[in-house]
Structure 1
Amino acid sequence: MSTGSPGKPRRQRTTFVIKDGIMTHFAPPGPLGFGGAPLGNMFDVVDEETAAAALTAAWDSGVRYFDTAPHYGSGLSEHRFGNVLRRYERDDFVLSTKVGRMLRPDPSCPDNGPFVHGLPFRVESDYSYDAVMRSIEDSYQRLGLAQIDVAFVHDLAADQLGDAWEEQFEVARTGAFRALTTLRDQGVIKGWGLGVNLTEPCVRALEQADPDVFLLAGRYSLLNQPALDRLFPMCAERGVNVVVGGPYNSGLLAGGRTFEYSEASPEMVAKRDRIAAICARHGADIRSAALQFCAAHPVVAAIIPGAKRPEKVLENARLMTATVPAAVWQELKHERLIPADAPTPG
């Protein structure tokens, strides 16, 4: 089954955005979204009341795009999303989840790092056609919802799969990609793509298949822009959107000490400090600059910073609209802290 000719779209592509509370399409600059990994008990436990309050705060602050995955807490994040999102009209928000990992019942609650105290399931990677079809059905059950807008093929990259990633990519190309293309063509989902931390699988997917949107974490930020040179121009040419995950680079841009979930190098900390000093000199918050920089690129449809607590959700919403003077962007480019050709707000 052909999944599209490399280099150009073979159809009118569906994109997604929220306007006046109604989902029509994604289009840049996209809305602030809500990423579901923290509510899968990422690194530490979030109680049910706090998780529900965080999702409710997101809704009340205007967020209408929600992303989750079976992997997050071995199904816990999907359950929590469904418990809250069922309160609202289904056509009023965009929901994405992921495929590529199957959950198998296991009362021993095996480790599923970095998630702790998840649900009693064993997580198994499986990018085959049948597994993806089953995964979508299982997500319906966990969410308690009958509609998923976007399905991302999860972690189909070397950082998660090591040297086996190319072999698994071929499994996905003939399995997961085919299954999701079928579901999209049938109108079951509105679009599909990859949810990864590296650009290479996205480039290959554009060359060999017909995705609609990517969720790319940590590869387009104030500190790190490897997506800018090749992937984003390819996306622009094909009319493919990008959701940016990890706009704070796992905490370094929000005042932490970790970059890509490890202790940040002295060089990266120094770069963060230089950016922060420029922001402070012009009366701006580096966190606002981090969020708004990601959203300014034309291919970016949404950004999904992580948040475990309602106060953090509300803070992200405030930071997204706070003023960042044009002089910040000018100085960051002059000091070569961001690329000269990187789009900036305004």
Structure 2
Amino acid sequence: MRRSIEDSLQRLGVDSLDIAFVHDISPDFAFFPNGWEEQYETARKGAFPALSKMRDEGIIRALGIGVNTPLPILKVMEDADPDVCLCARQYSLMDHASAVNELLPAVRKRNISLVIGSSLNAGFISGSPRYNYGKENFKIPAEAIEKRGRLRAVAARYGVDLRTAALQFSAAADVAVALVVGAGSAHQIEEDWNSLQAKIPNSFWDDLKSEGLIEASASLPTL
């Protein structure tokens, strides 16, 4: 682990890293030969203590894991001392109930921050013919298509861009410190920035809640 971090520092030409994530030690990762639990146990004994020591030395400023499911984040809080975790597929307009009711209260209690990934569900909210990631992400669940249609209907009533609403929703969680939003051009980055500055009326969010499209206890953007 230390050698990997030191090699990264050399390649980047910097003295320290802001965050070091241990990636994909999660039940949904299908490529571990003996299951994710074995890899997690290896990280528990090796990577996590090594990263904690490097944080104490100032080589990294924060450590955590980057995963698609809540379970490893809940587990790592008991087995290590993370500062921030990448919540890669758990907090979007499309799918956030588990995060709101289980994950966010737990990380809030431990004063751990989250980087929110997949705010747009791999572009699905923007109209892309895929939902999240994986070899079969073109097989979109019927319930996801139905919910997107209902979200679009409310957005149309208010003249709100659904993609903009999705980004603002993911950024509104009190434990969220950053979004990871895939972009293929500088223009898309500019669009992301503009979306986060756009004004959306509070009544739009109220309507989403009243129609059961957002969890009642979810944090919302406010004007």
Please classify the TM superposition score into its range, dividing by the shorter chain length: over 0.9
Give the secondary structure class of the aligned counterpart of 2:119.
coil
Give the secondary structure class of the aligned counterpart of 1:193.
strand
Aligned residue type for 1:145: V
2:25 aligned to 141, 156, 163, which one?
156
2:56 corresponds to which residue?
A: 185
Aligned residue type for 1:274: R
1:323 corresponds to which residue?
A: 199
Quote how far apart the aligned CAs of 1:259 are.
Answer: 1.0
1:58 corresponds to which residue?
A: none
State yes or no: 1:271 paired with 2:147. yes
1:309 aligned to 156, 161, 185, which one?
185
Quote how far apart the aligned CAs of 1:338 are.
Answer: 1.0
CA contact (8 A) 2:84 2:113 kept: yes
- Counterparts in 2 of 1:19-168, with a 5 A limit? 132-161=1-30, 164-168=35-39
Give the secondary structure class of the aligned counterpart of 1:227.
helix
Question: In 1, distance between residues paired with 2:63 and 2:6?
Answer: 15
Quote how far apart the aligned CAs of 1:142 are.
Answer: 3.0
Quote how far apart the aligned CAs of 1:308 are.
Answer: 1.6
Q: Deviations over 1:188-229 (max 9, x none)?
A: 111100011111100000112111000111200000012111
Give the secondary structure class of the aligned counterpart of 1:219.
coil
1:260 corresponds to which residue?
A: 132
2:165 corresponds to which residue?
A: 289
CA contact (8 A) 1:149 1:189 kept: yes
Question: In 1, distance between residues paired with 2:23 and 2:217?
Answer: 30
Question: In 2, distance between residues paired with 1:333 and 1:298?
Answer: 18
Identity of aligned residues (%): 43
Deviating 4+ runs (over 3 angstroms): none
Q: Deviations over 1:234-253 (max 9, x none)?
A: 11111100000111011111
Q: Which stretches in structure 2 are left out of the alignment for 5+ residues?
A: none
CA contact (8 A) 1:199 1:219 kept: yes
State yes or no: 1:344 paired with 2:213. no
Quote how far apart the aligned CAs of 1:254 are.
Answer: 1.5
1:170 corresponds to which residue?
A: 41
1:229 corresponds to which residue?
A: 101
Question: In 2, distance between residues paired with 1:277 and 1:160?
Answer: 35
Q: How many residues align?
A: 215
Question: In 1, distance between residues paired with 2:159 and 2:218?
Answer: 22
Q: Which structure shows the bigger proportion of residues in strand conformation?
A: 1
Give the secondary structure class of the aligned counterpart of 1:228.
helix
1:280 corresponds to which residue?
A: 156
CA contact (8 A) 2:92 2:119 kept: yes
Question: In 1, distance between residues paired with 2:109 and 2:22?
Answer: 22
Give the structure-1-normalised TM-score: 0.60
Aligned residue type for 1:139: S
Give the structure-2-normalised TM-score: 0.92
Quote how far apart the aligned CAs of 1:186 are.
Answer: 1.3
Higher relative contact order (CA 8 A, sep 6+): 1
Quote how far apart the aligned CAs of 1:299 are.
Answer: 0.8
State yes or no: 1:240 paired with 2:116. no
Deviates more, 1:254-263 or 1:214-223: 254-263
Give the secondary structure class of the aligned counterpart of 2:206.
helix
1:249 aligned to 108, 118, 121, which one?
121
Give the secondary structure class of the aligned counterpart of 2:73.
helix
